[in-house]
Amino acid sequence: MALLNDQLSVWEIGFRWAGHDPEGLWVRLPLAVRDNFRVLLSAVLEAHLASDSLSLEKYDGDNREEASLHIRYWLDEVYACISGKRFDRRLLKHAFIGRFDFLDWCERRGAPPPEFWFPPGWRVSYKWPSDDGVEEEGGQSVSGSSELDDKVTPKGLRPGQRACIAAQQIASAIWKDEPTRTIASMCKDELILKYGGGAHYEEDTVRSWVRAVAPPEVSQRRGRPPKKTPVEDD
């Protein structure tokens, strides 16, 4: 039977996607699972995949519980995971991904959604009988498909996705006129911060956005060294 959960943690997605039991007693995480964790958290950090429990927006308050819902609180753990150095189980079980956000991400990447959540022939939404006996679609609108049977219609972009696109468009335009501009200076550019929405997001997130569209001669420059993190499977 397919899982119908509206949300799953990165921990559970990473294991099930690799065909492993997330509830097992794992002394060492399987390679495929670690790779899934790295891909998923990288996508979250770059605003390609939304996570309601890891907001990319800045938070300057002092409420520990609320702070934990923002990626800055976990930034060291996020980078340690993406680099493959350490996989913090608290973070991976805290980071939740919505089912349709995940499906949208898979479709944007041109990748088939995993069968544990979207098996072939399984309907994404139900057909409810109407008073006159004619079946009507309920929930998400769908269309016939031999693979998933029903495909969710495109969703509106999340604020982080819109900001990412805007920042990248502005950065690309600036680099055409100023090809020697560094990624660091681009992240602090007023146009990126004000009109691209970068001021509301973590600097590391904005950096990943503009780096993706930087000219090769800029992106290949030696940047700041990565943060050092002990090597371990936490």
Residue-wise DSSP of 112-152: PPPTTTS-TT--SS-EEE-TTS-EEE-SS---EETTTEE-P
Q: Is residue 21 part of a domain?
A: yes
Q: Is residue 128 one of the residues assigned to a domain?
A: yes
Whether residue 141 is found in the same domain as residue 170: no
Residue 2 belongs to some domain of the structure: no
Nearest CA to 99 out of 77, 122, 70 is that of 122
Q: What are phi and psi of 200, to 5 degrees?
A: -95, 0
Q: What share of the chain is helix, strand, coil (3-state, %, to 5)?
A: 45, 10, 45
Residues 48 and 72 in one domain: yes
What pLDDT score does 141 carry?
35
Q: Is residue 142 situated within a structural domain?
A: yes
Question: 151: closest CA among 182, 177, 123?
Answer: 123
> What would the two tokens of residue 172 be?
């690309």
Own/partner pairs for 165-171, CB < 8 Å, 24+ apart?
166/195, 166/196, 166/197, 167/192, 167/196, 167/197, 167/198, 167/206, 167/209, 167/210, 168/209, 168/210, 168/212, 168/213, 169/196, 170/195, 170/196, 171/196, 171/209, 171/210, 171/213, 171/214
In the chain, the number of structural domains is 3
Residue 109 lies in a domain: no
pTM for this prediction:
0.66
Please tell me the predicted confidence (pLDDT) of residue 2.
65
Same domain, 96 and 127: no
**DSSP secondary structure, 52-81, as one string:** TTSB-B------HHHHTTBGGGGHHHHHHH
Query: Residue 144: what pLDDT?
Result: 34
Amino acid at 202: E
In this structure, are 41 and 58 located in the same domain?
A: yes
The pLDDT of residue 80: 96
| Token reading at 108 | 């944007």
Range of the domain at 142: 120-155
Would 55 be classed as within a structural domain?
A: yes
Dihedral of the CA atoms 67, 42, 97, 151 (nearest 10)?
A: 150
Q: Are residues 127 and 141 in the same domain?
A: yes
172 domain residue, yes or no:
yes
Instruction: Print pLDDT tens along the chain (234 aa).
Output: 567 788 999 999 999 999 999 998 888 999 999 999 999 999 999 888 989 899 888 888 888 999 999 998 999 999 999 999 999 999 999 999 998 899 989 988 888 899 999 887 665 555 555 555 555 444 443 333 334 443 333 456 778 888 888 999 999 999 999 988 899 999 999 999 888 888 888 888 888 888 888 888 887 765 554 454 444 454
CB under 8 Å to 161, separation ≥6 — which residues? 47, 48, 50
Looking at residue 212, its pLDDT comes to 87
Tell me, yes or no, whether 143 and 169 share the same domain: no
